Amino acid sequence: MRYGFLDEDAKKEIRRATLKAIAIPGYQVSFASRELPIARGWGTGGLQMTLAIINEEDCLKVIDQGCDGSVNAVNIRNFIVSVTDNQTTLDTLEADIIQSRHRIPEEPMREGQTLVLQVPYPEVLTNVEADSYRQKVMHANSDYAKLWVLLYEDTAQFGDSRIGHRYPVMVHDRYAMDPSPIPKYDTQKLNNNKALILLGAGREKKIYAIPPYTKVEPLKFEDKEFKVESFADKKCTRCGASGVFMDEVHTNDGEVKYYCNDTAYCDKNLEGKL
């Protein structure tokens, strides 16, 4: 089998689409999206991007819902290693490429790193406009009126937007973008990040990107603060960390405990290496 599973033409196409995406931050570039031995909707977009950019020296980390050890992360990591023979790590700072689903690591990323996010719905306008041709025209005109109306109606009824995750962001003051289903807590990390952030949607056949040091702001009314998930008074039961995104765990005797969602961070904290 070829290095990185994909044939050279596929890798070339994905790299070219990725370069275009980096050149136009937040803009969705179409690509053919190859069929993989892993199901659509299980991270095939991120996987194709990782396979297209990875080289022999790269050290890889794979996260699923904050955890390197969960089934899908393990499966994807095993697949990539079986077709590339790359080194892998659990340490955010050690990795050159981090493929992730639903989370941006707690530890700040550095220059030269690439975060590949798996994306189920790349189109931020889908909920307000289902027709992809009209979506394209709206993006071209930077016409996000329908998104603002949705935001307004939610705020009028519920005091805030009903969007819990994949909160729409404005990239470099030009394109509204779906940041993949990360919590709002992570949305803020997109802004001015030192790492290159690539987003790949295999089923929807779209690639987009946020280059390092790019302005990314959540869509928000000026007089409304952007409220993120808060675990202010909570401490990780395992490592004692606070001020991080937590998993709420209900034990069998009805107790509620909190744990760091980013398990690699939790391990590192426990070992005193942070």
- Of 124, 102, 128, the closest CA to residue 115 belongs to 102
Is 48 a binding residue for another protein by CB under 8 A? The answer is: no
Catalytic residue selected from 4, 26, 45, 46: 26
Is 50 a binding residue for another protein by CB under 8 A? The answer is: no
Q: What is the pattern of x (binds another protein, CB under 8 A) and - over residues 222-251?
A: -----x-xx--------------xxxxxxx
What 3-state class would DSSP assign to 236? coil
Buried b (16+ CB within 10 A) or exposed e, 22-60: bebbbbbbebebbebeeeeebbbbbbbbbbbbbeeebeb
What 3-state class would DSSP assign to 174? coil
Identity of the amino acid at 196: L
CA 55, CA 138: separation in Å to the nearest integer? 38
Q: How far is residue 43 from each of residues 5, 101, 165, 180, measured CA to CA in Å? A: 15, 8, 18, 11
Q: Tell which one of 102, 189, 220, 268 touches another protein (CB under 8 A).
A: 102
Is 156 a binding residue for another protein by CB under 8 A? The answer is: no
Q: What is the pattern of x (binds another protein, CB under 8 A) and - over residues 167-196?
A: --------------xxxxx-----------
Catalytic residue selected from 69, 112, 239, 272: 239
Point out which residues bind another protein (CB under 8 A): 1, 5, 7, 9, 13, 30-37, 39-42, 44, 64-67, 69-75, 78, 101-103, 120, 130-133, 136, 158-166, 181-185, 203, 205, 227, 229-230, 245-252, 259, 261, 263
Active site residues: 26, 236, 239, 260, 266
